[in-house]
Amino acid sequence: MTNDLLIRDEVTKSNSRAGLRCALRGEWTKFWSLRSAGWSVFALALVTYGLCYLSTSALRGHAHTADPIMRVLVGFNFDQFVMGVLGVLFLSSEYSTGQIRSTMAAMPRREIVLAAKAIVVGGVGLVLGEVLSFSTYFLGHFILSGQASQISLSQPGVLRVLTESGIDLAIVGLIGLGIASIFRSLAASLSIFTSIMLVLTVVLFALPGIIVHVMSRYMPANISSTVFASTTPSQLQGTPLFSPLIGLLLLALYAVVLLAVGSWLMTRRDT
């Protein structure tokens, strides 16, 4: 009896590994078949490099600025939003078109489907984010070479900013995917993601000071602002904030909770 249970457990584990590999191949193909995926990557690169060029060119011939790396990576404020929208679209578009039925028929274990989607979104976001952050740094370094605001990897915080900015894009993409796994509807998921990343922060600063003091450090937009800068951004001076690393860990916790709730709901409701 014990041997039968052990054999059954090994078979289950083997099927799960094989199922995840197959699901990953399918989700990777589906991600790049999204019409928005290729255009979004192009838009990310265009906006990131374009804003870097405009922002750093404005520093040429001027006195030293407090945080030039923040000016170099100014486009990442746009990039994280686009990456989150891609995370939403990756799942919600399947619900809106009915393709999710085919996905679940091919892989009935819904938690494996969501895990495969999370690996794809997180992986694409991480690689794309790191490539964009470091390549944008070299563009900014070239433009600011010999200027008062020139930047270098040896400067305090610069390497940290470049590394963590790519991680931030991956996590925000997972947050978008997690929201979509809970709400399914494309319109609802996009509205909630936009509210969390943009509207919530604006509304918060219109509330009494004691609420701002307590809640501001937990806002995803504020966390990302500290990640994209080597010093505290001027608009957040005097506002209680977590360190960039703690903030990233908190963002990751948000993503894990959203995906866990989404996985639980996906296994208990009809598609």
Q: What is the DSSP letter of 231?
A: S
Give yes or no for residue 192 having a pLDDT over 90: yes
Q: What is the DSSP letter of 235?
A: G
| pLDDT recorded at residue 161 | 93
Q: Classify the C-alpha dihedral 236-241-246-249 as positive or negative.
A: negative
Measuring CA to CA, which residue among 243, 237, 236, 241 is closest to residue 160? Answer: 243
The C-alpha atoms of residue 215 and residue 207 are separated, in whole angstroms, by 10
Percent pLDDT > 70 in the chain is: 90
How many other CB atoms are there within 10 angstroms of residue 103's CB atom?
21
Looking up tokens 């319109």 gives 187
Q: What mean pLDDT do residues 170-180 have?
A: 96
Lowest average pLDDT, out of 43-52, 81-90, 189-198, 206-215, goes to 206-215
Residue 119 pLDDT class (50, 70, 90 cuts): very high
Q: What is the DSSP letter of 65?
A: P
- Cβ-in-10-Å burial (0-12, 13-18, 19+) of 222 comes to buried
Give yes or no for residue 85 having a pLDDT over 60: yes
The C-alpha atoms of residue 186 and residue 205 are separated, in whole angstroms, by 28
pTM for this prediction: 0.88
Give yes or no for residue 15 having a pLDDT over 50: no
User: Which pair of structure tokens corresponds to residue 55?
Assistant: 């922002």
The C-alpha atoms of residue 85 and residue 78 are separated, in whole angstroms, by 11
Q: What mean pLDDT do residues 206-224 have?
A: 84
The C-alpha atoms of residue 54 and residue 224 are separated, in whole angstroms, by 21
Residue 11 pLDDT class (50, 70, 90 cuts): very low
